[in-house]
Structure 1
């Protein structure tokens, strides 16, 4: 009797009633959204760099001739190089066209290509593949992809899984990644979360719901949304790094600006300890997985008729010395062989005789001087590359 009473009490409990109501609302949300498209996959509660970039690309009227991919190594060369060449402050969240590459190629070839940069801090090879797969398609497909790569993009010891990056999480709301959903996740918690999101529509669309909440908060704020967003925020760099260790990437429209080299004192920053941690005890599983995504990028480019140029980015000798003995040469050999087998080109631009310490802001990132020098050298190499020339001369 007591057991039956407990069962009856449970079935009539508020917990069960609440669960039932939640499932009804979740199903209703799914049906209504599929019918009337309330949500947008490009919407996000946090303005990450991939959010700024993807939405910036959507606003482009035509496909670029050249798409740039890469991590912060390519990103800083792009922003700082253009800031120095043009003697003009560049905004990282809205500066997508490479003046350096366009102008230097025009000088070398007589043709000025259009460009768009998808280079984002922390970009892994898996992220680069997803950007190409999801965004560089259809009428927005470029003729050439220039992908700046370095060992960190394949072996970062601080990476939990391919699915853990902001780029993966954001783009998975735009495209269906069912084919890599399980292999991209490495922990039970990630698998469990993925399973719940597949079952519960409101959970998979949680970013949209939070974005709506933010809009409502702005609307109800005493001075309205415009008064809040018009305030030019300038969060100190150290505070931003601390915040991003606990919170999603979120950058305001005025927070990430890069000035010309020499406009302000730029002391060399020694980030040896950071990269010692990133290169520490290379996880073979991560390395193999990221090489697999790199190969996927190469095969995808070949299938779509896009010429892929893989560029080994400049590093300081001190940074290379942090890697296990022999690894750097092995990495270059493996990436070069993979490129040759898949119709891609491999350019090694890590040339210590050209890139001296004066060209670096730290052990891996080029400063404004280095950015200009990098794109000059890249343009020289591309101008002589037959595959690049043939791809650029094609009509789409």
Structure 2
């Protein structure tokens, strides 16, 4: 009788626990942020909130992709990457008078669309780039957004050293991961994202236990509340980094912007995470294979960074990064576009040490236009496609085909 009563009590407690979590908004089948919910009807992440800035960015990017008029102009050109890809697209549109949204919510490139139209290519252009996007994030974006039903005409993936070794990152379980991956993806991510027993247990708890899922946010909110209360009694306690903040890409004091950028990236590059590099390399391999399986035509672009930024990298790391890109893209026949070395970018093309301004952005867009035009004309990628008419910043006309175009994966 006692045993039965204990069993009954245990069942009741378990049912109450499940009911509590369901009522609080965490589906036991997986994170509510899986791609099926990346729509205007359901922007909420687990727990019913709208998610962080990156997750909201991702939701709107997917909406832009879904809204492209495929029935009229076919599949869109899609760009992928971090803020290094976001900044030139946004800066050029602002310069041309197309300013409409904050850079974080700017998911189309009117400038690139206009330049493609000038060379006879009528395509929508959608950006799936997100702030701080790692290679692992890019893989997930391709997996969840660029399916057999929603393929791109061509995928331009801009990549940089930070995407492999950011010392300020904690691992592969990023904001993008938490938005896109549910329990149903366990078999796919096991071994790629989750290697240890603890990582797997944590993954399952995050997606089944509401309070566990929210523990980080509650901790942050508690700390922020405590700081606000303390600052009311003593204004000098206000966090220094929160004073006089300038919106991203909106600073006007170039010397200060450059100095701040060097300080930020010296932290990112200091004592690079070799384990993280190895994991991101595996994710690059997975991304390349996924594009091959889905017949996605891919160009990997080594994004330009300033000489000052590159000099912050530990000796040999940039060469290791480029060797990795060259080796992995060569294995599957994907063109590697080395804009960093061959794009002709100078310091005045940059807003800070890594993000292109409108001048560098126009160069970037012109070079991407040249690559896409050549691909459409069955011309293989070659560095000659990056050469521009400096006065008009237009692609140089290629006299004759260099051969068959880059392989379709």
Normalization by structure 1: what TM-score? 0.71
Residues 76, 365 of structure 1: 8 Å contact kept:
yes
Give the 3-state SS of the residue equivalent to 1:362 in structure 2: coil
Of the three residues 31, 37, 60, the one matched with 2:67 is 60
Cα distance in 2 for residues equivalent to 1:88 and 1:148: 23
2:290 corresponds in structure 1 to: 300
Write the mapping of 1:104-183 to structure 2, written as runs, cut at 5 A.
104-107=115-118, 109-163=119-173, 165-173=174-182, 176-181=185-190, 183=192
Cα distance in 1 for residues equivalent to 2:155 and 2:343: 27
Of the three residues 13, 17, 22, the one matched with 2:16 is 22
The offset of 1:280, in angstroms, is 1.8
Write the mapping of 1:273-352 to structure 2, written as runs, cut at 5 A.
273-351=263-341
Residues 83, 90 of structure 1: 8 Å contact kept:
no
Cα distance in 2 for residues equivalent to 1:89 and 1:27: 39
Judging changes above 3 Å, is the alpha-carbon distance between structure 1 residues 205 and 173 closer, same or farther for their aligned structure 2 residues?
A: farther
Judging changes above 3 Å, is the alpha-carbon distance between structure 1 residues 240 and 333 closer, same or farther for their aligned structure 2 residues?
A: farther
Give the 3-state SS of the residue equivalent to 1:286 in structure 2: helix
- Consecutive unaligned residues in structure 1, runs of 5 or more: 1-6, 211-236, 243-254
- Consecutive unaligned residues in structure 2, runs of 5 or more: 39-43, 219-239, 382-400
Q: How many residues align?
A: 337
Residues 65, 144 of structure 1: 8 Å contact kept:
yes
Cα distance in 2 for residues equivalent to 1:57 and 1:28: 26
Aligned: 1:272 with 2:262: yes
Cα distance in 2 for residues equivalent to 1:300 and 1:23: 39
The offset of 1:49, in angstroms, is 2.9
Q: Give the superposed CA RMSD.
A: 4.2
2:56 corresponds in structure 1 to: 51
Residues 304, 343 of structure 2: 8 Å contact kept:
no
- 1:256-292 CA-partner distances (Å, limit 9, x unpaired): 7877x9xx66654322122122112222221111011
Cα distance in 1 for residues equivalent to 2:134 and 2:346: 26
Give the 3-state SS of the residue equivalent to 2:301 in structure 1: strand
Residues 89, 258 of structure 1: 8 Å contact kept:
no
Residues 149, 313 of structure 1: 8 Å contact kept:
yes
Question: Does 1 or 2 have the higher relative contact order (CA < 8 Å, sep 6+)?
Answer: 1
Write the mapping of 1:344-383 to structure 2, written as runs, cut at 5 A.
344-351=334-341, 354-383=344-373
Give the 3-state SS of the residue equivalent to 1:129 in structure 2: helix
Normalization by structure 2: what TM-score? 0.69
Give the 3-state SS of the residue equivalent to 2:340 in structure 1: coil
Judging changes above 3 Å, is the alpha-carbon distance between structure 1 residues 241 and 171 closer, same or farther for their aligned structure 2 residues?
A: farther
Cα distance in 2 for residues equivalent to 1:27 and 1:320: 47
Give the 3-state SS of the residue equivalent to 1:145 in structure 2: strand
The offset of 1:391, in angstroms, is 8.5
Give the 3-state SS of the residue equivalent to 1:306 in structure 2: coil
The offset of 1:56, in angstroms, is 4.5
Residues 306, 391 of structure 1: 8 Å contact kept:
no
Give the 3-state SS of the residue equivalent to 2:158 in structure 1: strand
The offset of 1:295, in angstroms, is 1.2
- 1:284-312 CA-partner distances (Å, limit 9, x unpaired): 22111101111111111111111110011
Give the 3-state SS of the residue equivalent to 2:96 in structure 1: helix
- 1:220-277 CA-partner distances (Å, limit 9, x unpaired): xxxxxxxxxxxxxxxxx954999xxxxxxxxxxxx97877x9xx66654322122122
Write the mapping of 1:152-301 to structure 2, written as runs, cut at 5 A.
152-163=162-173, 165-173=174-182, 176-181=185-190, 183-185=192-194, 190-197=199-206, 200=208, 239=242, 268-270=257-259, 271-301=261-291
Give the 3-state SS of the residue equivalent to 2:351 in structure 1: coil
Judging changes above 3 Å, is the alpha-carbon distance between structure 1 residues 20 and 94 closer, same or farther for their aligned structure 2 residues?
A: closer
Judging changes above 3 Å, is the alpha-carbon distance between structure 1 residues 266 and 282 closer, same or farther for their aligned structure 2 residues?
A: closer
Aligned: 1:100 with 2:107: no
Residues 87, 355 of structure 2: 8 Å contact kept:
yes
Of the three residues 55, 71, 91, the one matched with 2:82 is 71
Judging changes above 3 Å, is the alpha-carbon distance between structure 1 residues 125 and 24 closer, same or farther for their aligned structure 2 residues?
A: closer
